[in-house]
Amino acid sequence: MPSDANVMPASARLRPVDPRTLLASLLLVVVASVATVRTLPAMLELFVFVCLWHAASARHAASVFGVLRRVLPFAAVIFVLNTVLVPGEALFRVAGHRVASVEGAHDGLFFALRLGVMLMSVALLLGATDPESLARGVHDLLRRVSPGLANRVAFFTFLSMGFVPMFVDEIARVRIAQSFRGGDFKGGMLHRAGSLRMWLVPVLMSAVRRSGELALAVELRDTRSRLVASIPAPRMRLIDGISLALVIAVMVAVSMER
């Protein structure tokens, strides 16, 4: 079952890795970007590291540019809003009034890089694993703590990742249908806002319907009870251990920068 998302180009499938080390590594990256990385240079280094990691897994740089192309509009909005709204020393003025601040530009770039780290991590997770292997990896990580919790979380992980390609496919269907009705995202801001309203209702209704169909299929096939037993156990290779050690070293380094 493919698991591409909007942040992930459909053709950019990454080299499969051990789901346990991948999940642990990406959790470390996300936690570090939120909790321990405090400076702009450190966040930039973390962002570059995740991009290089993604490029190495994909074995070509085009997949990274595909993800960045989707991240850039959101990062630009974050940067502009912080630059304009955060008070501080004037970055530039218009008619004697401060339009943008230095502190806002700094904060905007910092938060834009944090968003890039998170979305690049999501793209890496979706591209380098699949719902079945990730569910088994989550189960292996949690089964020593609580077998019941491990089964529930593994099942939830399987359903969550399995729903991603269904939802993306439904968005594509709605996009084609609405484009014939004049609901594309071309033209002025008011036209785009109206097009967005035309998209939201059918996409949300379709998401509810498709999620119900998926839940019914899972119950009819008795997937909950036999999910983990039907998936081969993952095997950690030397390269997986090396990559986890490298991620830990990078996280410690960028977290210690002040």
Tell me the per-residue pLDDT of 16-36, one tens digit each, with 9 for 90 and over.
Answer: 677 888 888 999 999 999 999
Mean pLDDT of 134-150: 80
Predicted pLDDT of residue 127: 78
Predicted pLDDT of residue 43: 94
Phi, psi of 145 (to 5 degrees): -85, -50
CA angle (141, 145, 146) in 5-degree steps: 105
Predicted pLDDT of residue 202: 73
CB-count exposure of residue 158 (10 Å: 0-12, 13-18, 19+): buried
| C-alpha span between 31 and 27 (Å, rounded) | 6
Residue 252 — very low, low, confident or very high, per pLDDT cuts 50/70/90?
A: very high
Residue 189 has pLDDT above 70, yes or no: no
Residue 110 has pLDDT above 70, yes or no: yes
Predicted pLDDT of residue 73: 85
What is the DSSP code string of the chain?
Answer: -----TTS-TT-PPPP--HHHHHHHHHHHHHIIIII--SHHHHHHHHHHHHHHHHHHHTSTHHHHHHHHHHHHHHHHHHHHHHHHS-SSEEEEETTEEEEEHHHHHHHHHHHHHHHHHHHHHHHHHHH--HHHHHHHHHHHHTTT-HHHHHHHHHHHHHHHHHHHHHHHHHHHHHHHHHHTT-SS-SSHHHHHHHHHHHHHHHHHHHHHHHHHHHHHHHHTTHHHHTGGGSPPP---HHHHHHHHHHHHHHHHHHH--
Tell me the per-residue pLDDT of 32-88, one tens digit each, with 9 for 90 and over.
Answer: 999 999 999 999 999 999 998 888 887 666 778 888 888 888 888 898 888 888 888
Structure token digits, residue 240: 């997986």
Do 126 and 4 meet the contact criterion of CB atoms below 8 Å apart? yes
- How many CB atoms within 10 Å of residue 199? 18
Residue with tokens 């014939």: 180
Residue 8 has pLDDT above 50, yes or no: no
166 vs 151: which has the higher pLDDT: 151
According to DSSP, the residues that pair with 92 across neighbouring strands are 100
Residue 224 has pLDDT above 70, yes or no: no
Question: pTM of the prediction?
Answer: 0.71
Predicted pLDDT of residue 4: 39
Residue 199 has pLDDT above 70, yes or no: no
Predicted pLDDT of residue 10: 38
Residue 11 has pLDDT above 50, yes or no: no
51-65, 209-223, 238-252: the lowest-pLDDT one: 209-223
Phi, psi of 88 (to 5 degrees): 155, -165
Tell me the per-residue pLDDT of 147-160, one tens digit each, with 9 for 90 and over.
Answer: 778 877 887 777 77
| C-alpha span between 199 and 171 (Å, rounded) | 9
According to DSSP, the residues that pair with 100 across neighbouring strands are 92
Mean pLDDT of 125-137: 79
Residue 123 — very low, low, confident or very high, per pLDDT cuts 50/70/90?
A: confident
Mean pLDDT value across the chain = 77
| C-alpha span between 28 and 42 (Å, rounded) | 15
